[in-house]
Structure 1
């Protein structure tokens, strides 16, 4: 297990040495990984750092507003509205790996645009060890590792947490006294809701995935899952009122894990599952049914794509 005090001192020195007198931007998503990286980098280089949050349109409900509130103490925070550009690039893309590469490349292009404005030569990322392992193997490409384009217009990429597991990152975040809403926050994939939508990403599917994920996180909070989510996995016939509908199928998933490398599906009581399906089908007219995923990792991954 990492020693937070030693780690913080070591990484602040490392970041300061790598960036030197140059400017840098930090890819800030609001999750514990990127937030901890941002806090470390801010300690290391102060005003030389520009935190950049890219609103991809693939984020959780209320994410952008939460970011603005939580990181308002960083005067140089940039909120980039790139929703239209991401959806345009994802149009017609159905292959999961291609999705991740499209998103990874678009993220980099957004960061490069801000970097040019602020004359930044370095990019700081919250990449952690499982991201590297899965991307370097044959499991899947993470948008911030294997999903990056071949040509990147930065002198260097700084990844202070690249050797840590998620639980170790949380320890460092607590030591840095980050707010509990950040240090204890449930993991959320870098590509966002795009990997919780099977097939092409559309505005309609995004709306369903965003609301369904909000319901699931709220209803399963008492179970303290390592990760809980909802995914739009296809369409099926249902009945609403007196009408036959061909609506979306939403899969609910909740797992226990230490580091995300392996995970076990949680046992959720029937009453809770029925409340979740009732809310999702009741609040979303286009959803015809809800299923619960009982598969562990392996053989499944935690996310759907």
Structure 2
């Protein structure tokens, strides 16, 4: 199913809610032509909300041909108004705005609102409203500021609502989405982790054939699940390459060699490249430059590892064509993937890849959110200790040091990070938060007093966040006693640090990582 994005705040959320209904969804920009949309062979289409007014000059419009294609369509908020206008309805600015919780009156419990109570609380965000429905449409609901708050043409399978069913504040919103998907569009809820595994295994085999493959294994859930999928598909054709780039947290290299290999039996090649990465990062402070350097060096190390894999196998004339990466959908979106997407930051495995890449990429998780990856991992039998590991970025501690990355600064940050992780685990909070980056403000110093003497040390920032998929996040309200233990232990055991601060910024406006 396609979600057409009109610049909506909630376009990603619509796609997620559809997936929660076990129907696969993708997002396309409103600038895509109808022919491009139909080329994807969508089973249904949802038109998202957006910040514009449909009658303003330059506002995004909807080609009426979309509604003649025979594909079921649901318009939400701006998409609802755009549909009404394109089909001959009337949209106007009434002077009555509806923001937040709003009561709608259901006057016809048709297909879209089947079984709905006569009144329900929904979430609105609009200043315009549909005054008259297009010919052939039945008005299903009204509100104080919306004479037409929902409509449908069941014969043509066209539906619309002024409110946002994708947000939790719309009490029966998910039910309305599912009625559109299951009843209005006739879709089956069969997009499950088991089906994802079967589809990806088949796709990997079709792409790779009998060629050799290497996987960029970090030990995190993304690369581990990607490796498990590829191994299920091609078996011994896969060799996992674990690059110790010197930017890891304490104990991570040992965990990868022990836990993942024991659980999967995969072929693992370990490369110690810490000195190489430190040399490449020397003197660099710009975060985008750091990410691109790390991405470039990753690929160069993989290229050398691939040659060694072939040589060790005694196949000197063969080549490794494919590189497996644990790229996720949020990585692609934030790196500017897709038409109309803003480049928020270049993920090392997307925007940070060198242009002269010598591998063809295998990215079986590229269309999945993090929670979906975890579900697939459990389906594959990946150990829970790996599946539920908190996310850790590919560039590692290199983007958690604000300033130049040096061996000394890495050791300081490793020690502080280890304390924070130990205390969170001891408090039983590992599953309650998404992750807790510890950030070293390496180019900042603050005055302190330790042992009755003056200190001039570094501050570190604790960044505990809660999220479903990393597209949005809120800071986690950790218990004060846990925060106190973390702060006391860090300042007592890491002599270079004399101050611990807490980041209480949501995403947006901040990102989860500082760089």
Provide the TM-score with structure 1 as the length reference: 0.97
In the other structure, the counterpart of 2:206 is 17
5 Å matches for 1:163-174? 163-174=367-378
In the other structure, the counterpart of 1:145 is 350
| In 2: Cα distance, 1:244 partner to 1:182 partner | 43
| Deviation per residue, 1:197-243 (Å, 9 max, x gap) | 10101112111211211221222232321111211013211111132
Match of 1:204 among 398, 408, 419: 408
In the other structure, the counterpart of 1:77 is 268
In the other structure, the counterpart of 2:388 is 184
5 Å matches for 1:42-191? 42-73=231-262, 74=265, 76-117=267-308, 118=310, 119-136=319-336, 137-154=342-359, 156-191=360-395
| In 2: Cα distance, 1:159 partner to 1:72 partner | 21
Where do 5+ consecutive residues of structure 2 fail to align?
1-18, 20-190, 311-318, 337-341
Instruction: Please say if residues 231 and 266 of structure 2, whose CA atoms lie closer than 8 Å, have aligned partners that are also in contact.
Output: no
| Deviation per residue, 1:130-178 (Å, 9 max, x gap) | 0000011221000000011111112x11100000000000000011111
SS in 2 for 1:72: helix
Shift of 1:116: 1.7
> Relative to total residues, which structure has the larger helix share, 1 or 2?
1
- RMSD over aligned CA atoms reads 1.1
In the other structure, the counterpart of 2:453 is 243
Which stretch has the larger CA shift, 71-80 or 258-267? 71-80
Instruction: Please say if residues 326 and 366 of structure 2, whose CA atoms lie closer than 8 Å, have aligned partners that are also in contact.
Output: yes
5 Å matches for 1:25-44? 25-44=214-233
Which stretch has the larger CA shift, 86-95 or 242-251? 242-251
| In 2: Cα distance, 1:139 partner to 1:255 partner | 19
- Structure ranking higher on relative contact order (CA contacts 8 Å, 6+ apart): 1
List 4+ stretches of structure 1 deviating above 3 A: none
Where do 5+ consecutive residues of structure 1 fail to align?
none
| In 2: Cα distance, 1:271 partner to 1:72 partner | 37
* Count of aligned positions: 304
| In 2: Cα distance, 1:232 partner to 1:31 partner | 22
Provide the TM-score with structure 2 as the length reference: 0.58
